[in-house]
Chain A
C-alpha cells in the first residue's frame, strides 16, 4: 500500500511510526540501524526522512519553548512542604545509609580514563531567560531562522550522547538540558548545564572551556569530567583531571579560583554564599547511565546517511544538492574529532567544499 500513497501521506505514516519517532528522539534507538539503511535505499526515502525529521525537530522546539520553567526557589519550597509532611509521621525503620554506587564510577572511568564529577542543584538561568522571553511576548517562531544558541534536551529515559562542534562529547542524563553557541565560534567554549551530564572535553588552551551553573563557573583544565544536578546541593567533585571553580559574578581570572584535584569536592554553601572544600568524592549522589558508544562508524555508506548522522549529532542542518552526490560513498568514523575536521575529511574524500554559518553547514560540489 505504501507505494500508492502520496508523499505527504507517506510522511504522516512515518510520523505515526513509534520506531521512526524513537530513532529521531533517541540517538541510541535500537531502530537506528534499520532507519539508516532505509534512508540510504532511495532518494525518496531520504527526502521523506528528512522532512519528517525537520517536522519533529520543529515540534520539539515548539514544545520546549512552550515549557514554563519553575523557579528553583519554588521547587525547593514545594519539596520542603513535602518533606515537612513526610517528617511529621516518622516511620519506625531507621534511615538507611546511602549506598555508594561504585559501579558507576568504574563504568565511567573505564570509558575515558579521566573523570571529574561536578554536582549542581538547580536549573540553569538560561532556561529562565528562554521562558521569560516566551512569556513576555507570547510568541515563538519555531521556524524563524536558526538561533545562535542551541538547547539540547534529553527527554528520553536513558542517557543521551551529544556531540559538540569542538569535538567534545557530553552524555546527558534524562531530563538534562545544556545550551551553547551552536557553532562554538565565540572567544571561549561555553556551556550552560541544568541536570546531570558527563563531559569529555577536548583540550584547547586557546579556547578555554567553561561550564555555567546557577552559582558556579567551572573552568576546565583537564580533559574529562561530569556535571550533575540532583539533591539539594551544588558541588564539584573531581575524580581525575583538574578544574578551577569560581563563584558566578567573580571575575573569572581574578584570584579566588578554587583549583580542584582528584578526589576533591567543592560545594557551594547557600548560607554563606561561598565555596567549601572537602575531600573524597564518593558521597555524590550521581547516578547516570554512561553511554558506551563514542561515535558512529560507516563503511562504504551513502554520503547522505553520513550527513544525516552529522545533523543529528550536532543539531546542525546540512544543506547540499542531493543529486550532486548521489553516487558518493564514504568510509569514516564520526565523533572523535571536531566538526570542522570531520567536514574536511568528508569533503576532501568526495571532492567537495564546505562552509559553516548560522544557517548550518553548506556542502558545495566540485566546480
Chain B
C-alpha cells in the first residue's frame, strides 16, 4: 500500500501553493477531527492541535518529503501531537498510559457488556460495542475497517510491530464478533 504515485496536491503544497494546502485541509478535516476525538475527547484541544499541525506543515514544507498517502501522514502527525499534549497534561508517560488503558479496561468492558445484555435482551448495538472497546483497540479497528488502512500502516502509526497490531485487532474482533454473532449465529 505504500507504493503508488506521490500525491499531486501534496507536491504543489510543498512548492508553496497555499490553495493546495487548503485543499488538503478541506479533504481531511472531517476525518482528522473524528480521529482526533478518538484519541482525546477534548474537541477544542483536537481542533487547536489540527490548526497547529497545518501551520507547522506550512512552515516546514521545504523539509517535507514526497508522500503517497496524505491521510496516513496527517493521521500519524496528529496522533503524535495529541499524545504529546496528553502526556504534558497528565504527567504520565505515553507507554504507561497505553499499558494501563489497554489492560484495565478489558475486564470492565466484558462485565459491562454482559450485564447490559442481561438487562436488555436485545441484539447488541455495534456502535455501543465499538465505544466500549479499549482505546487502542478502538483506534485500530477504526483505522483498519473504516479507513481501510492495512496493518503495516497502522503498526507504523501506533508505534507497534506488525504482529502486535494484528493481535490488537484480533482481540477487538473477538469481542465484537462474540456479541454480534449472538444475534446471528452461523450454522
Which A residues contact B (CB, under 8 angstroms)?
7-8, 11-12, 15-16, 18, 21-22, 25-26, 47, 51, 55-56, 58-70, 75, 78-79, 81-83, 85-86, 89, 91, 93, 95-96, 98-99, 101, 121, 123, 139-143, 155-157, 174-175, 195, 229-232, 285, 287
- B46 CB, min distance to chain A CBs, angstroms: 10
CA distance A246 to B30 in the complex (A): 27
- B96 CB, min distance to chain A CBs, angstroms: 28
Residue from B28, B170, B183, B186 having most chain A Cβ neighbours under 10 A:
B186
**Are A285 and B23 in touch, CB under 8 angstroms?**
yes
- B145 CB, min distance to chain A CBs, angstroms: 5
Q: Does B148 contact A (CB under 8 A)?
A: yes
Interface segment, one of B12-20, B87-95, B101-109: B12-20
**Are B130 and A63 in touch, CB under 8 angstroms?**
yes
Kindly state the interface size class of chain B when it binds its partner: 35 or more
Interface string of B20-36 (1 = CB under 8 A from A): 00110111111101100
A12 CB contact (under 8 Å) in B22, B31, B33, B170: B170
A and B contact pairs by CB, cutoff 8 A, 17 listed: A7-B186, A12-B173, A16-B166, A21-B148, A59-B146, A62-B125, A63-B146, A68-B37, A75-B26, A78-B51, A93-B16, A95-B18, A143-B123, A143-B126, A155-B146, A174-B27, A231-B19
Given the complex, which residues of B lie within 8 Å of A143, measured CB to CB? Answer: 123, 125-126, 183
CA distance A63 to B147 in the complex (A): 10
CA distance A141 to B37 in the complex (A): 22
**Are A81 and B186 in touch, CB under 8 angstroms?**
no
**Are A26 and B31 in touch, CB under 8 angstroms?**
no
Q: Does B59 contact A (CB under 8 A)?
A: yes
**Are B170 and A67 in touch, CB under 8 angstroms?**
no
Given the complex, which residues of A lie within 8 Å of B184, measured CB to CB? Answer: 51
CA distance A285 to B142 in the complex (A): 30
Given the complex, which residues of B lie within 8 Å of A195, measured CB to CB? Answer: 27
Instruction: Indicate whether A157 sits within 8 Å of B145 (C-beta atoms), given known contacts A7-B187, A68-B37.
Output: no
- A339 CB, min distance to chain B CBs, angstroms: 25
Given the complex, which residues of A lie within 8 Å of B16, measured CB to CB? Answer: 91, 93, 95-96
Number of A-B contacts (CB under 8 A): 144
Interface string of B109-139 (1 = CB under 8 A from A): 0000000000000010111001100000000
Which residue in chain B gives the minimum CB-CB distance to A139?
B125
Given the complex, which residues of A lie within 8 Å of B34, measured CB to CB? Answer: 67-68
**Are B54 and A82 in touch, CB under 8 angstroms?**
yes
Q: Does B69 contact A (CB under 8 A)?
A: yes
Instruction: Indicate whether A70 sits within 8 Å of B29 (C-beta atoms), given known contacts A56-B145, A99-B12, A231-B22.
Output: yes
- A122 CB, min distance to chain B CBs, angstroms: 9
Q: Which of B40-61 contact A (CB under 8 A)?
A: 47, 50-51, 54-55, 58-59
Instruction: Indicate whether A231 sits within 8 Å of B23 (C-beta atoms), given known contacts A70-B29, A83-B18, A175-B31.
Output: yes
- A197 CB, min distance to chain B CBs, angstroms: 13
Which residue in chain A gives the minimum CB-CB distance to B16?
A93
Q: Does B78 contact A (CB under 8 A)?
A: no
Q: Does B144 contact A (CB under 8 A)?
A: yes
Given the complex, which residues of B lie within 8 Å of A78, measured CB to CB? Answer: 29, 47, 50-51
A175 CB contact (under 8 Å) in B30, B173, B187: B30
Interface of B is mostly: helix
CA distance A63 to B138 in the complex (A): 11
**Are A70 and B33 in touch, CB under 8 angstroms?**
yes
**Are B30 and A123 in touch, CB under 8 angstroms?**
yes
**Are B127 and A175 in touch, CB under 8 angstroms?**
no
Given the complex, which residues of A lie within 8 Å of B177, measured CB to CB? Answer: 8, 11-12, 15, 55
Given the complex, which residues of B lie within 8 Å of A8, measured CB to CB? Answer: 177, 181, 186
Q: Does B65 contact A (CB under 8 A)?
A: no
- A226 CB, min distance to chain B CBs, angstroms: 16
**Are A142 and B126 in touch, CB under 8 angstroms?**
yes
- B147 CB, min distance to chain A CBs, angstroms: 5
- B12 CB, min distance to chain A CBs, angstroms: 7
Q: Does B76 contact A (CB under 8 A)?
A: no
Q: Does B151 contact A (CB under 8 A)?
A: yes
**Are B31 and A142 in touch, CB under 8 angstroms?**
no
Q: Does B169 contact A (CB under 8 A)?
A: yes
Known: A62-B126, A82-B25, A285-B19. 10 other contacts (CB 8 A): A7-B186, A16-B169, A21-B148, A47-B186, A62-B127, A66-B127, A78-B51, A81-B51, A82-B55, A85-B55
**Are A79 and B26 in touch, CB under 8 angstroms?**
yes
**Are B127 and A21 in touch, CB under 8 angstroms?**
no
Which residue in chain A gives the minimum CB-CB distance to B50?
A78
Given the complex, which residues of A lie within 8 Å of B28, measured CB to CB? Answer: 175
- A151 CB, min distance to chain B CBs, angstroms: 13
B22 CB contact (under 8 Å) in A67, A68, A79, A95: A79
**Are A86 and B58 in touch, CB under 8 angstroms?**
yes
Which residue in chain A gives the minimum CB-CB distance to B123?
A143
